[in-house]
Structure 1
């Protein structure tokens, strides 16, 4: 193994969307940054690949709305810096069957003066006739939301990161992190030293945490993006000009999780509709066939049959991805409680892509010791008491 004497200001482990945003933000501040990725770039082995992700202001938690207030202009700035357009403003429809949960979203959006509409069932049918809803249903419409072309956005972060002087190594496995001042990062190719280390390794983060004496509640799960064929004559109604991204939480009252979807912007003639849940998995063996996958697919089939008369009732394409879940679906964005110069950014629970610009900003503030812009309490490592400890 070769040995490197180079001392970096920061080493970021993991070049997914969160790690790439962290590296980009730090390099933009003039830091000497090394970003390390175990797989050849681009790749489909983690959580950041694919053609699309939903982005929205609409959250029931006000602290997320505050982060999204920054994220939208930060995404736009990245588009300018990279010369790539990756945001499609098709709106987001947040469908609910409980007044209380809808009101939480309205309250959070109102707190930051975010434009939105609270739609009753008759309003949904009139505005979006391709959605079949019951009389008790309602929705929050977020007109400024839409979709991000994920692969393009990820590549944009990495491109601009290197333009700001950052160093990107792919095909390089990190074997371990050795705490100290400086900290050492041992890889399959070399040993690097840095004043700070950011661990943003997605479903592989638990390994590093454990080796550093830290028990984090992180559970990788296999999720199954699915694509459904549009019936003949219904194609125009399912394009991004008319069909919004959507989140459908009505199933939560029946013991299932929520379904989400995006318009026909990836595969020709297909709409993406999938379940925001899956079975536990080993990230190194994600694609093994598993009988537990069937219930996930069946739930989405039922949603498609009930809600989308313009779509065929069987999926045309089935893919796989990984979420890294925490018990409360909030990530860890915090310092190691013992090693102050090691920072974790992981456990984004399937909704972190849109938040990546703010996550990068928050991590840069942790690295430099600046006052945090956002409410970081929901992301603290110690919030589960004995479940996240040394």
Structure 2
């Protein structure tokens, strides 16, 4: 049984000016605060909900980690990301990564799949192409269609998400960092010293990092910045075997990603579930637009459509599973138009740093995202080229009167 350690709000003297305030204690904000504390910065991590909670994008027990990406800048970042996860495991004494391999499936000639294979080959990443025969031998419970292509990213696996979030927050506190939860932001006053007013008080810092997840736009709008973000409600589905334990599927189940199968634009992904022992987590990588304050209000027609895509996938590719999900939960994505992150300064306030738009694939990269946001906030040259993550790639107006 895992005991969840409740965060305790620490008293903050009224005259305290922090080096940095991080707004939002999901995995990205917590990782940023952790790196700031490692750099000996007096850091306050603010969270609007009592911790732990399931309102945003960082809850749940499992996430996929992989090296395989169709964009080389993400693949380049994954090398250090794996190292940072290993460092956190060592510091916390908690195992966070389980290697299972990642099975990639796509129709013949799929550009995204071919790009992933090419990049893995060029970067000398451990992987192998799989013929239909090899795939059947390696993963006998997956039924590929004639002509479909597959490969395995050997380092793909499962991250223990809840444990990871708790571990990074605890390490942050051990280094002297302060967490205050249940502190909803009411106002941000930019300036040489940024003032953040919450439901409980006012806090000041020389730098502010905003990692507010689905609430990012609500926080940024009063600062004159309208980013092209969409918040999506995602159905997280869990499936059980028709005959529990008979197929051996549980012992040989990789993480997997199906790209543009059945002539559709969507992706389907799956992984062994830790949330519900004996079940399998298989999800549609997409969802329907929803206000994060109203995430529990279901849009039944759209929900049924998304789940039907998954039912069809399971019936065709994993017939030893029940064709209907046993459990359905919700999560939130915060998407950009190109599904790439935003890691940048506020255009008008250079002591305000923004990390948002993680588009449903940011958790695995969070240790490195936290390092990069830390670098931006303390004035270090970023470790990576941030052009793919810049705000200026979007043609958006900036309201300087705010």
TM-score category, normalised to shorter length: over 0.9
TM-score after normalising by structure 2: 0.93
Listed as ranges, the matches of 1:56-71 within 5 Å are: 56-71=66-81
**What's the counterpart of residue 5 of structure 2?**
none
**What's the counterpart of residue 22 of structure 2?**
12
Listed as ranges, the matches of 1:129-148 within 5 Å are: 129-148=140-159
**Hey, what's the Cα distance between the residues in 2 that align with 1:342 and 1:369?**
12
Q: Confirm whether residue 218 of structure 1 aligns to residue 218 of structure 2.
A: no
Say whether the 8 Å CA contact 2:60–2:275 is kept in structure 1: no
- SS of alignment partner, residue 313 of structure 1: coil
**Hey, what's the Cα distance between the residues in 1 that align with 2:278 and 2:59?**
21
**What's the counterpart of residue 183 of structure 1?**
194
Q: How many residues align?
A: 387
- After superposition, the CA RMSD in angstroms is 1.6
Say whether the 8 Å CA contact 1:382–1:389 is kept in structure 2: no
Q: Confirm whether residue 331 of structure 1 aligns to residue 341 of structure 2.
A: yes
**What's the counterpart of residue 112 of structure 1?**
123
Shift of 1:153: 0.4
Q: Confirm whether residue 354 of structure 1 aligns to residue 367 of structure 2.
A: no
Say whether the 8 Å CA contact 1:14–1:35 is kept in structure 2: yes
**What's the counterpart of residue 272 of structure 2?**
263
1:62-99 deviation line (CA, Å, top 9, x unaligned): 10011111111110110111111121111111211143
**What's the counterpart of residue 286 of structure 1?**
295
**What's the counterpart of residue 274 of structure 1?**
283
TM-aligned CA distance change 1:101 to 1:256, over 3 Å: closer
**Hey, what's the Cα distance between the residues in 1 that align with 2:306 and 2:398?**
29
Shift of 1:175: 1.2
Shift of 1:389: 7.5
Listed as ranges, the matches of 1:204-243 within 5 Å are: 204-232=215-243, 234=245, 237-239=248-250, 241-243=251-253
Shift of 1:264: 4.1
TM-score after normalising by structure 1: 0.96
**Hey, what's the Cα distance between the residues in 1 that align with 2:90 and 2:83?**
11
**What's the counterpart of residue 245 of structure 1?**
255
TM-aligned CA distance change 1:264 to 1:186, over 3 Å: closer
1:129-172 deviation line (CA, Å, top 9, x unaligned): 11110121112311111000110000001000001110001111
- SS of alignment partner, residue 270 of structure 2: strand
Give unmatched runs, 5+ long, in structure 1: none
1:170-192 deviation line (CA, Å, top 9, x unaligned): 11111121110111111111111
**Hey, what's the Cα distance between the residues in 2 that align with 1:213 and 1:237?**
55
**Hey, what's the Cα distance between the residues in 2 that align with 1:54 and 1:260?**
9
**Hey, what's the Cα distance between the residues in 2 that align with 1:320 and 1:80?**
32
- SS of alignment partner, residue 68 of structure 1: helix
- SS of alignment partner, residue 338 of structure 2: coil
Q: Confirm whether residue 97 of structure 1 aligns to residue 124 of structure 2.
A: no
Q: Confirm whether residue 78 of structure 1 aligns to residue 84 of structure 2.
A: no
